[in-house]
Amino acid sequence: MTPEQETQHLKRASHDELCSYLASRIRRARKQRKESQAIFAARAGIALRTYKRLETHGHGHLETFLRALSALDRCQYLQLLFPFDQPMPRALSLEDRISKIRDSATLKQTGKSG
C-alpha cells in the first residue's frame, strides 16, 4: 500500500481498524528492535499481559499506548497530531495599504532616476 493509499484508508477506518493499525505498527517497531514482548514490556513499564493485549488487539489505556511510544522513542511525533496554529496574517488597514503603495511608487521613482 502506498503512503497515499494508507492515508486514505486511515481517513475512513473504523475505531477497531485504527486500533489494529496502531497495534501492528507498534509490533513491527518492536520486532525491528529484535526485542521479545516480555523484554519490551518490562522496558516500557507495562505488564506483559497488558502489552500483549495492546499489541495483539489494539486494546489498552492511553497510558499503555504512551508508554509503548516512549519505549520506541516516538513521543516527539505526537506534536504532529496537533500542529501549532499559524497566526492569521493581520489585514492591512486602508491607511497602511495607501502607505505601502506610496512607498512602492517612491522606490520605483528613485530607481529610475538613479
Asked whether residue 113 is assigned to any structural domain, the reply reads no
Range of the domain at 76: 3-80
Q: How many domains is the chain built from? A: 1
The secondary structure element, H or E, covering residue 82 is: none
- Provide the grid cell at 81: 497530531
Q: Say if residues 61 and 32 touch (Cβ distance below 8 Å).
A: no
Asked whether residue 91 is assigned to any structural domain, the reply reads no
Instruction: Answer whether 0.85 is exceeded by the pTM.
Output: no
Asked whether residue 67 is assigned to any structural domain, the reply reads yes
Asked whether residue 92 is assigned to any structural domain, the reply reads no
Nearest to 27 by CA among 9, 54, 61, 66: 54
Where does the pLDDT of residue 112 fall: very low under 50, low under 70, confident under 90, or very high at 90 and above? low
Q: Say if residues 57 and 16 touch (Cβ distance below 8 Å).
A: no
CATH number at residue 53: 1.10.260.40
For residue 89, what pLDDT is reported?
72
Asked whether residue 103 is assigned to any structural domain, the reply reads no
For residue 114, what pLDDT is reported?
45
Asked whether residue 24 is assigned to any structural domain, the reply reads yes
